[in-house]
Amino acid sequence: MTHKKQHSLLNRANVACDMVSKHIKEDHVIRIISHNDADGLSAAGVLANAIKEENGQFHISILPRLKPENVRELAKEEYNLFIFSDMGSACLELINRFKADVIIADHHQTNDTGSEDHVIHVNPHIFGIDGSKDLSGAGSAYLTIRELGEGENNKKHLAPLALVGAFGDMQCQEGFTGVNELLVKEGEEFGSLEIHEDLKIVSKTQEPLYKSLAYTLNPALPGLTGDLEESMGFLEKMGIFHGIKFTDLEDEEKDALKDELIKLNPDIFGDVYSVPKENHLLRDLEEYSYILDSCGKNKKTGLGISITLGERGDAIDAALNLQKKYRDQLTKGMEWIKREGSNQMDFIQYIYNEDKVLKSIMGTISGVGTSSGLLNADKPVLAMARMHNDVKVSGRTTRKLVDKGVDLGKALHDSSLSFGGQGGGHDIAAGAMIPYKEMENFLNLVNDMVEHQLNNN
Ligand SMILES: [Mn+2]
């Protein structure tokens, strides 16, 4: 059954691929619109690389979210083919009205709107495949260009870049599943992807060890993640100098560290996905996704795209500076959560902040706050950030609660609509924008909906 679903999805993607091919042959500049997170940037990168290799042309715009007014403006542009990646499914009704050809390569929840003949909708949900864990936006984009190019020149070497997107959307919590497994297979076969077991701490070649520990978000290290001082103390207690880089440790020290870290979180040792021939800072696909994420969060999406297109050197230095800034913010955010905790309701919890810096990372810190044990994992967390007259909501929950019936995408979509906002996403992670004055009503409604979801599962 699963196989059949995947087959139908691949067939749909191949129809999209033929459409891309046709427009490249006609020398049309292909208009790409994608999301500003690591998944969206990888998605645009996958598409752009494929088109470039076929000597085609493209024009990319990266958006923080696709608003109806964005779609209306885009509809007026004079292109023959638009590709929306990691977004678009929620705006299908408006996109159906485009005069030009359109491909939507998305993995967010979608309603039952059918697509017109000139709109090819590539989305795992349409085929009964879970887009929150089995395929990312970059994965949908990959399927869309996978068969481009003749024989040997097909685009399967781009599978690792598509998996960078899957890491960005946290789809490798317990290994890759579903269509992502196909991408892993093709990455190994055509994209120099290698998998080996290792400690999953970040920046091993680049940062002093205490920072590698404190900046490791996934999997989180309870007590250490987000806390530089605790990380320093932890190493000193083991008799390891905190300023040494992981790669400079003696083998016995590496083993001792591994044993201690496994006590904090067994998942810290596991499969690492890497492309060894890649620049050492981008070699590990998960770290690559963090670097793209920093570009997106700091509004340097052009930089992120150039990296996916192969720019190295100065581009990577610039991105690393952004990453440093981003990590400082995260550390501050984690300190704040540690100090303030969350506000409890019966079935959800929320954090609220008006601070300019913390506002942009509320979603991330609520997720890491939960996985590192600072916040209770028994209730979904809504992170609320004030934006003028609106509140931006990022919701996160655990696979365990999803299995018990929680669907944040649906809860945030329906509740935000009731108060003149908009929202949606995945069962496990979703977002919304609502008027500030309705915040309390909104929270109450989400609380009720989550209660209902739990009771009716
Ligand atoms: Mn995505």
What single letter denotes the amino acid at residue 286?
E
Cα-to-centroid distance, 136 and ligand 1 (Å): 5
H or E segment and range at residue 2: helix 2-25
**306, pLDDT greater than 80:** yes
Report every protein residue that has its C-beta within 5 angstroms of ion ligand 1. 39, 86, 137, 169
Domain membership of residue 436 (yes or no) is yes
Does 442 share its domain with 400? yes
Which amino acid makes up residue 136? S
C-alpha of residue 131 to centroid of ligand 1, in Å: 9
The Å distance, Cα 67 to ligand 1 centre, comes to 16
* pLDDT of 354 strictly over 80: yes
Give residue-wise pLDDT tens across range 286-304. 999 999 999 998 999 999 9
| Nearest CA-CA partner of 363 in 403, 405, 330 | 330
pLDDT tens per residue across span 213-271: 999 998 999 999 999 999 999 999 999 999 999 999 999 999 999 999 999 999 999 99
Q: What is the pLDDT of residue 1?
A: 61
Q: Please give the mean pLDDT across all residues of the chain.
A: 95
**Can you tell me the mean pLDDT for 321-348?**
94
* Between 359 and 70, residue with greater pLDDT: 70
Is residue 438 over pLDDT 80?
yes
Inside any domain, residue 198:
no
**Mean pLDDT, rounded, for 185-192:** 96
Q: What pLDDT is recorded for position 174? A: 83
Q: What is the CATH number of the domain that holds 50?
A: 3.90.1640.30
Residues 83 and 181 in one domain: yes
Within this chain, do residues 185 and 212 fall inside the same structural domain, yes or no?
A: no
Same domain, 296 and 385: no
Report the number of distinct structural domains present in the chain: 3
Do 355 and 444 sit in the same domain of this protein? Answer: yes
Position 356 confidence tier, pLDDT thresholds 50, 70, 90: confident
User: What span, in angstroms and rounded, lies between the C-alpha atoms of 304 and 295?
Assistant: 5
- Residues sharing a CB contact under 8 Å with residue 48, sequence separation 6 or more, in sequence order: 32, 58, 60, 305, 308, 309
Query: What's the gap in Å between 428 CA and the centre of ligand 1?
Result: 12
Q: Is residue 390 situated within a structural domain?
A: yes
- Residue 439 belongs to domain with CATH number: 3.10.310.40
**What spacing in Å lies between the alpha carbon of 106 and ligand 1's midpoint?**
8
In a domain, 329, yes or no: yes
Taking the centre of ligand 1 as the mean of its atom positions, its distance from the CA of residue 249, in whole angstroms, is: 36
pTM, two decimals, is 0.90
Residues 174 and 231 in one domain: no
Q: How far is the CA of 171 from the centre of ligand 1 (A)?
A: 10
pLDDT of 383 higher than 70: yes
Question: Among residues of the chain, what percentage have pLDDT more than 70?
Answer: 100
Mean pLDDT over residues 85-103, rounded?
Answer: 96
Same domain (yes/no): 53, 170? yes
Q: Kindly state whether residues 91 and 6 are assigned to the same domain.
A: yes
Domain-terminating residue out of 277, 306, 333 = 333
245, 275: one domain: yes
- On whether both 222 and 182 belong to a single domain, the answer is no
Residue 401 bridge partners (DSSP): none
Alpha helices, H only, 134-247: 137-145, 159-168, 179-190, 209-214, 228-237
pLDDT band at 113 (very low <50, low <70, confident <90, very high): confident
Q: Residue 365 is part of which domain span?
A: 341-455
Distance 236 CA to ligand 1 centre (A): 39
Listed residues 333, 359, 386: the one ending a domain: 333
CA of 379 to the centre of ligand 1 (A): 23
Separation of CA 86 and ligand 1 centre (Å)? 5
Q: Which two tokens stand for residue 273?
A: 């996905």
Classify residue 314 as exposed, middle or buried by CB count within 10 Å of its CB (0-12, 13-18, 19+): exposed
pLDDT higher than threshold 80 for residue 339:
yes
Q: How far is the centre of ligand 1, averaged over its atoms, from the C-alpha of 29 (Å)?
A: 24
Can you give the C-alpha Rg of the chain in angstroms? 22
Per-residue exposure over 136-170, b if at least 16 CB sit within 10 Å of its own CB, e if not:
bbbbbbbbbbbbbbeeeebbbbbbbbbbbbbbbbb
Q: For residue 293, how far is its CA from the centre of ligand 1 (angstroms)?
A: 12
CA of 24 to the centre of ligand 1 (A): 26
Residues 101 and 130 grouped into a single domain = yes
Give the pLDDT mean for 311-324: 95
What's the average model confidence in pLDDT over 60-67?
95
What region, left, alpha or beta, does residue 262 occupy, with left being phi > 0 and alpha being psi -120 to 50 degrees? alpha
Q: Which residues contact 335 (CB under 8 A, 6 or more apart)?
A: 226, 227
Are residues 359 and 219 part of one domain? no
Contact (Cβ atoms closer than 8 angstroms) between residue 246 and residue 209:
yes
